[in-house]
Amino acid sequence: MTSTVTSGELTGQLLIAGQAVDGSGAEIRGFDPNTGAELEPAYRYGDASHVDAACAAAADAFAEYRSAPAEKRAQFLEAIAERIEAVKDTLVARAHAESGLPEARLTGEVGRTTGQLRLFAAVVREGSWNGARIDPPLPDRAVPRPDIRQRFVPLGPVAVFGASNFPLAFSVAGGDTASALAAGCPVVVKGHDAHPGTSELVGRAITAAVADAGFPPGTFSLLFGDGPELGGALVKDPRVKAVGFTGSRTGGLALVAAAAARPEPIPVYAEMSSINPVFLLEGALATRAADLGREYVGSLTLGAGQFCTNPGLVIAIDGPDLDTFIAAARDALSASAPAAMLTPRIADTYRQGVDALAAEADLIARGSADNAPSVSCRSALFSTDAASLLGSEALQAEVFGASGLIVRCADIVEMQRVAAGIEGQLTATVQADDSDVEQAGALLPTLELKVGRILFNGWPTGVDVGHAMVHGGPFPATSDSRTTSVGSRAIERFLRPVCYQNAPKSLLPNAIADGNPDRLWRRIDGELTRD
Ligand code: NAP
C-alpha cells in the first residue's frame, strides 16, 4: 500500500519521496530493552526496488534543492526542528521504549537534534560555507592571469546510516542528515533496526517539512532493511555521492570497501571505534586521586557506556596515588547498577568484549547484577601494564559499554610510549594540575596526531555542538580524519570546490558574482572582505 505521509503516525512503512510505502522483506519490530517486550507496529524491510525508487527521486530532487535560495533552505531546516518539537512527547516516549535510554536524556537529545538543525540553518544563512574566492584578472602580468573564481557546490544525494546509540541526534534527523541537507544534498536514510518507530516519527516530520517548503519530495527518504543487503545496495547506487555512518568498525569498513569498489568511488564518513584514553598526570593524581576515581566511573557508566566518547582507557604512573584512584573507582563501580543496553546484539558484543579483557587483564571490579533490565550492561573495570597493552589487539579493542581498563606505567616516558602506540581516537583527556603543565605540554604533540579532541580536566562524554567542535580523528576513530561529524564544519564533508575561469559575468552564481549580491564574506585576491 502507498499513501501520502502525515505527521505523528506509526504505520511501519518506508517513507520514499513523500509516500508511505509497504516493505516487502523480513519483519522487524521495536524492542524494549527494559522489559523485553516487542513493540507495535511491525516494519518490513525494503528491497532493491525501494532503494532504486529513493535514489531516483533523490537524484531528481538534487538540481532544484541545491539551487534554492539559502534563506529557503535555512527555513526548511528550522521547519524540520519545529515539526520534531511538535511530536516531542510521542517521540521521547517511543525512543525511551525502543532504546531503554532515560526519558530525561532523550528529551535532551531532542534539544540537541533541533539545536543542530537550527545551527545549520544559521550556517546556511551566514554563507561562508560557499567558500567564495575571486582572483581578479591580471592582463598586464608577464603571464596574464585570467578571471578565476571559486565556490563550493554540494556533492549530490547522500546515504545516511542512523546510529543505534543516539536514536535522535545521530539518527534520521541527526548531524549527518542536517549537515547534508544544509550543504544542498538530498538524503536517503537507512534507519537503524534498534529504533524503527522513532525513525518513522522523525522521518514523517522531515517529509512534512519537505512538502511545506515545496521542495521536490525526493529531497528525503527513509528506508528500513538489512545492512549488508539494502544498506550495501544504497552505497553502491550510482546516484549516491557520499555516505555518513556511525557504528561498528566492521560495518564502517564494509561500507568504505563497498564505496571504494564502485566504478565511481565515493567518500564514506564513517565514525567507528574509539577507546578515548584519559591521562592522569602526577600532580593531578597527588591532589585529587579519589575524586578523579569517582568522576571517572560516573563518565564510564553514563548511558551504560554506550557513547562513542566513553573513556575506556586510563593511563597513569603506578604508585600510591594511582592506588587511591583505583580504590575509589572500584568502590563506585561495584555500587553501579546494571543499565539497559540498546539491543540484545550490542549486549552480547559487550559481554564478549568483557570476556576478552578478562582473559588478558586483571579484574578490579564488576558492577552490581541485581535487578537487571532484560537486556543489560554490568559494568567492569580492569588493569594491566603498558607492555601488555601495547602488545595486545584485544586490550586496545573498543568494548562498547561500561568497561574500563587502567594502564599502570613505570614513568612518564612509558606514558608517552602508550600515547604514541595506541590507535587513532576521537578524544584524549588529560587530568593535569599547574605542576603538570610541562608533562602535559610534552604529551600534546603526540596527542594532536592521534585524536580529534583533546580535553583538559573534564570527561569526554558530552559533545557540544558548535563551530569549534571536532568529533572525528584518525583511523579507526573514523575513516576520514580530515573532518568532523559534529558541529558546523560537518557541512564540509558534502561539498566540493568548483573553479570558474573567464566565465561570462551573466552566468556567475551569486556567491561569486560581481557586486557581492548575497553580502558574503569572500576572499578577493587573498583578502577576506564583504565588499
Ligand atoms: P553496526 O552493527 O555497525 O550497525 C550500524 C548500521 O550499519 C546498521 O544500520 C547496520 O544494519 C548497518 N550495517 C552494519 N554492517 C553493515 C554492512 N556490512 N553493510 C551495510 N550496512 C551495514 O552498529 P550497531 O548496530 O549500532 O552496534 C553494533 C556495535 O557497533 C556495538 O556493539 C559497538 O561495538 C559499535 N558501535 C560503536 C559506536 C561508536 O560510536 N563508536 C556507536 C554504535 C555502535 P544492520 O543492523 O541491518 O546490520
For position 357, what pLDDT does the model report? Answer: 97
List, for residues 205-227, the tens digit of each pLDDT value: 999 999 999 999 999 999 999 99
Pocket of ligand 1 (CB under 6 A): 161, 163-165, 190, 192-193, 226-228, 231-232, 246-248, 251, 254-255, 271-274, 308, 346, 349, 398, 400
Ligand 1 atom nearest residue 426's Cα: 41
pLDDT over 90 (residue 7) = no
Phi, psi of 376 (to 5 degrees): -135, 165
Ligand 1 atom nearest residue 307's Cα: 40
For position 430, what pLDDT does the model report? Answer: 98
For position 318, what pLDDT does the model report? Answer: 98
pLDDT over 90 (residue 307) = yes
Closest CA to 271 of 234, 245, 251, 307: 245
For position 8, what pLDDT does the model report? Answer: 76
Phi, psi of 29 (to 5 degrees): -140, 155
pLDDT over 80 (residue 6) = no
For position 204, what pLDDT does the model report? Answer: 98
Q: Give Cβ neighbours of residue 126 (< 8 Å, ≥ 6 apart).
A: none
Q: What is the mean pLDDT of residues 171-196?
A: 98
Q: Closest residue (by CA) to atom 45 of ligand 1?
A: 227
For position 24, what pLDDT does the model report? Answer: 96
Cα–Cα dist 96/102, whole Å = 6
Place of cell 613505570: 410
Q: What is the mean pLDDT of residues 96-107?
A: 96
Q: How far is the CA of 105 from the centre of ligand 1 (A)?
A: 22
Q: Give Cβ neighbours of residue 325 (< 8 Å, ≥ 6 apart).
A: 280, 285, 289, 290, 292, 293, 296, 314, 316, 406
pLDDT over 90 (residue 169) = yes
For position 9, what pLDDT does the model report? Answer: 82
Q: Give Cβ neighbours of residue 108 (< 8 Å, ≥ 6 apart).
A: none
Q: Closest residue (by CA) to atom 22 of ligand 1?
A: 227
3 state SS of 339: strand
pLDDT over 90 (residue 390) = yes
Residue 386: C-alpha distances to residues 317, 415, 423 (Å): 10, 8, 14
In eight-state DSSP terms, residue 496 is E
List, for residues 49-88, the tens digit of each pLDDT value: 999 999 999 999 999 999 999 999 999 999 999 999 999 9
Q: How far is the CA of 165 from the centre of ligand 1 (A)?
A: 10
Q: What is the mean pLDDT of residues 431-439?
A: 97
Cα–Cα dist 231/407, whole Å = 38
**Cβ of 354: how many Cβ atoms within 10 Å?**
21
Q: How far is the CA of 367 from the centre of ligand 1 (A)?
A: 26
Q: What is the mean pLDDT of residues 314-330?
A: 98
Q: Closest residue (by CA) to atom 17 of ligand 1?
A: 228
Place of cell 569572500: 522
Q: What is the mean pLDDT of residues 370-390?
A: 93
Would residue 265 be called left, alpha or beta, if left means φ above 0 and alpha means ψ between -120 and 50 degrees? Answer: beta
User: pLDDT exceeding 70 applies to what percent of the chain?
Assistant: 100
Q: How far is the CA of 501 from the centre of ligand 1 (A)?
A: 44
Residue 230: C-alpha distances to residues 52, 58, 227 (Å): 10, 16, 6
- Residues with a catalytic annotation lie at 271, 308
> What predicted TM-score, i.e. pTM, was given to this entire model?
0.96
**Residue 388 grid coordinates:** 601488555
Cα–Cα dist 348/331, whole Å = 26
pLDDT over 90 (residue 438) = yes
**Residue 273 grid coordinates:** 571505534
**Residue 35 grid coordinates:** 522489559
List, for residues 21-44, the tens digit of each pLDDT value: 999 999 999 999 999 999 999 999
Q: What is the mean pLDDT of residues 400-407?
A: 98
Cα–Cα dist 512/524, whole Å = 10
For position 2, what pLDDT does the model report? Answer: 73
Q: What is the mean pLDDT of residues 274-294?
A: 98
Sorting pLDDT into bands at 50, 70 and 90, what band is 5?
confident
**Residue 204 grid coordinates:** 514523517
pLDDT over 80 (residue 460) = yes
For position 88, what pLDDT does the model report? Answer: 97
pLDDT over 90 (residue 3) = no
List, for residues 190-205, the tens digit of each pLDDT value: 999 999 999 999 999 9
Q: What is the mean pLDDT of residues 295-324?
A: 97
**Residue 398 grid coordinates:** 573498543
